[in-house]
Chains A and B, each alone.
Chain A
C-alpha cells in the first residue's frame, strides 16, 4: 500500500521534472528573437522537411476521410430523408474535429517521429555537443527552427486536409450518390460559420502544433544517446503526442462547443 503510494509519488515527481525540463528547453530555445537573416534559410529548410514532405500523406488521407464521411453520412441521413444535410455534416466534422485531430496524429507519426530521430541522432553522434563547443547554441540553431516550422506547418496542413476532405465528400456525395450539388454547397454554407467553426478548428490545430512539435523535439533532445534510446524516444513521441492531442481535443471541444 505504502509502496504503491511511493511509486505514485516517484512517477509524479519524475513527470513534473520532465515537464519542467521540456519547458526550460523551449524557453531557452525561443526566448530571444534570433537574427532573421541567418535564421530564415534554416526555417525554410525545416518548413520543407516538416511541412512539404508531410503534404502527400495529408492530401491522400484528407481525400479518403472526406469520401468515407460522405458515404457513411449518406447511408445514415438518407434514412431520415435528410441527405441534403450531407454537406454540413461532412464540412462540420472535418472543420471542427477531423481536420485538426487527424492532421495532428498524422503529423506526429510522419514529422514528429522524424524530428525526434533526427535530433536524437545528432545528439548520439555528438553533433549537438560539438556545436556547443563551437559556441553555437544548439537550442537556437537546431531546436528553434524546427519548432517554428512545426508551429507554422500544422495549421496549414489542417486547412489543406479539411479542404481536400470536403472536396472528397463532394465527389462521393454529389458525383456518385447524386445529392444535389446546389443543395450540398448552399446548406453547407448556411450552417458553417467562419468564426465558430473554421477559426475554432484553427485554434485547435495551433494548440496541437505546439504540443506535438514540442514533444517531438524534447524527446529527441532529451533521449538517451544510443540506438535503443533513439528508438524508444521515437516511439514515445508518437504515443505521447497522440494521447496529448486526443486529450486536449476533448478539453478544447468542451470549451468551444460545450454550453
Chain B
C-alpha cells in the first residue's frame, strides 16, 4: 500500500539521521567514550604550558587516556598547575611516569604526552589527586630560536 511505503521511507530517513548523529558523535568527535566514562584526577606542575588548553587530550603512546580539565596558577609558587581527568580504565600509572607537553606537527594542537615509568617493587602507583613529579614544559619556538642563535655565535 502507498501509505505503508511512505511510512517505511520516513522510518528509513529517521534511521539514517540517527546513524549520522552516532557517526558524528563516536567516530568524528569521539567524546562519547570519554565524557560518559568515570575518571580520576591527576595533577602536574609545569614551568611553561605553552599553548595547552582545557580539554586538550592526554595521550599515552598516541592513545587518548584523558583530557585536561583545568589550568591554574599555583597561588604561592606562581607556576602553572594542570589538572587532568584520566579514565578509570587506566588506573595504575607508576609515580615515576613522565609528562611532557608535545605538539602535533609543526603548527598543530598541543597535547600532554604521558610516558609511564617502570613498574617495580616499592614504586607506588598514582591515585586520585596525586602530582606527577617529572614534567617537561612546552617548547616555545622563540626560545628554541634564541638558543640556536646563541650556539651559532659561540662557534664563531
| Direct touch of chains A and B (CB < 8 A) | yes
Q: Which residues of A contact B (CB under 8 A)?
A: 41, 44-45, 47-48, 51-52, 55, 80-82, 84-85, 91, 95, 153, 155-157, 159-160, 162-164, 166, 185-195, 197-198
Majority SS of interface residues in chain B?
helix
The answer on a CB contact under 8 Å between A51 and B13 is: yes
Show 16 residue pairs from A and B whose CB-CB distance is below 8 angstroms, ordered by the A residue: A44-B10, A48-B6, A52-B12, A55-B16, A84-B108, A91-B28, A156-B13, A156-B16, A156-B20, A164-B20, A186-B62, A190-B57, A192-B30, A194-B35, A198-B28, A198-B29
The answer on a CB contact under 8 Å between A193 and B14 is: no
The answer on a CB contact under 8 Å between A47 and B29 is: no
Q: Which residue of B lies closest to A190 (CB)?
A: B57
Known A52-B9, A80-B107; further 9 A-B contacts with Cβ < 8 A:
A44-B10, A55-B13, A84-B108, A159-B24, A160-B17, A163-B23, A189-B29, A190-B111, A194-B35
What residues of A have a CB within 8 angstroms of the CB of B20 in the complex?
A: 156, 159-160, 162-164
Complex Cα gap A48–B11 (Å): 9
Complex Cα gap A26–B10 (Å): 25
| Residue among A55, A82, A95, A194 making CB contact with B106, cutoff 8 Å | A82
| Residue among B55, B104, B111 making CB contact with A193, cutoff 8 Å | B55
Query: When A and B form their complex, what is the total count of cross-chain residue pairs whose Cβ atoms lie within 8 Å?
Result: 95
| Residue among B17, B31, B108 making CB contact with A85, cutoff 8 Å | B108
Q: How large is the interface on B (under 10, 10 to 19, 20 to 34, 35 or more residues)?
A: 20 to 34
Say if the beta carbon of B123 comes within 8 Å of chain A.
no
What residues of B have a CB within 8 angstroms of the CB of A48 in the complex?
A: 6, 9-10, 13
The answer on a CB contact under 8 Å between A198 and B17 is: no
The 9 A-B residue pairs whose C-beta atoms are closest, nearest first, are A156-B17, A189-B30, A163-B20, A194-B31, A159-B20, A194-B29, A192-B29, A48-B6, A160-B20
The answer on a CB contact under 8 Å between A44 and B107 is: no
B89 to chain A, nearest CB (A): 17
What residues of B have a CB within 8 angstroms of the CB of A159 in the complex?
A: 17, 20-21, 24
Majority SS of interface residues in chain A?
helix
What residues of A have a CB within 8 angstroms of the CB of B9 in the complex?
A: 48, 52
Q: Which residue of A lies closest to B17 (CB)?
A: A156
Q: Which residues of B contact A (CB under 8 A)?
A: 3, 6-7, 9-10, 12-14, 16-17, 19-21, 23-25, 27-32, 35, 55, 57, 62, 64, 104-109, 111
What residues of B have a CB within 8 angstroms of the CB of A163 in the complex?
A: 19-20, 23-24, 28
The answer on a CB contact under 8 Å between B28 and A192 is: yes
What residues of A have a CB within 8 angstroms of the CB of B24 in the complex?
A: 95, 159, 162-163, 166, 198
Complex Cα gap A186–B23 (Å): 14
With A45-B6, A82-B106, A82-B107 in contact, is A188–B13 under 8 Å at CB?
no
* Most chain A beta-carbon contacts within 10 A, residue among B32, B57, B108: B108
The answer on a CB contact under 8 Å between B7 and A81 is: no
Complex Cα gap A186–B108 (Å): 13
B11 to chain A, nearest CB (A): 9
Q: Which residue of A lies closest to B35 (CB)?
A: A194
A90 to chain B, nearest CB (A): 10
Complex Cα gap A186–B104 (Å): 11
A53 to chain B, nearest CB (A): 9
Complex Cα gap A186–B111 (Å): 13
The answer on a CB contact under 8 Å between B29 and A193 is: yes
